[in-house]
Amino acid sequence: MIYLARCPVCKQEVQGFFWTTTKSGKKWLKNSNGEWHDCPMSTSSFGGKKEKVRFLIDTDYDFCHDCGRFFIKENIRDELKIGGDTLEKHIEVWHPNGEILDDIDYMALTDNEKEKLRADWNMPKTTKRYNLKGKFVERV
């Protein structure tokens, strides 16, 4: 006996599949080998193809001790095919002389405006490097 079922999403009749209840209690098409129907259209609410999700963990990042920011490692960026600066490029651009930066340094202000803001906020220019303690960033 040949099973023939119509996929409700792609509207194709798939041979060898029959309706089976999933672990979540919903019904979906499964064949006699125990494989679920991999519908190409049921992968996204936008109609695009679903891609594998890879969650980043703490070992996937490099840490800049001069400003306390994180950068995705180059091998992870290549694997995920995403852009962005590496830690080396960041240090070359932002810390060529080893200057330690804080949030005010990244603001689009003149040096005089930055100094005025430091005085208003009672936040003097930092001279201590940042340190990564587990999941927390602190100044050494």
Instruction: Give this prediction's pTM.
Output: 0.55
- Residue 5 near residue 17 (C-beta atoms within 8 A): yes
Q: How far apart are CA 14 and CA 30, in angstroms?
A: 10
Number of domains in the chain: 2
Residue-wise pLDDT tens digits, 78-106: 988 888 888 999 999 989 998 999 889 88
For residue 38, give both structure tokens. Answer: 């991999």
In-domain check, residue 47: no
Residues 63 and 123 in one domain: yes
The parent domain of residue 93 ranges over: 58-133
Residues 33 and 64 in one domain: no
Q: Please report the pLDDT score of residue 48 as a whole number.
A: 53
For residue 66, give both structure tokens. Answer: 């001069």
pLDDT greater than 80 at residue 38: no
Q: Which residue has the tokens 């940042």?
A: 130
CA 19 to chain centre: 36
Q: Which residue has the tokens 């930055």?
A: 114
In-domain check, residue 49: no
In-domain check, residue 67: yes
Residues 27 and 62 in one domain: no
- Residue 49 near residue 115 (C-beta atoms within 8 A): no
Confidence band for 50, pLDDT divided at 50, 70 and 90 = low
Residues 72 and 19 in one domain: no
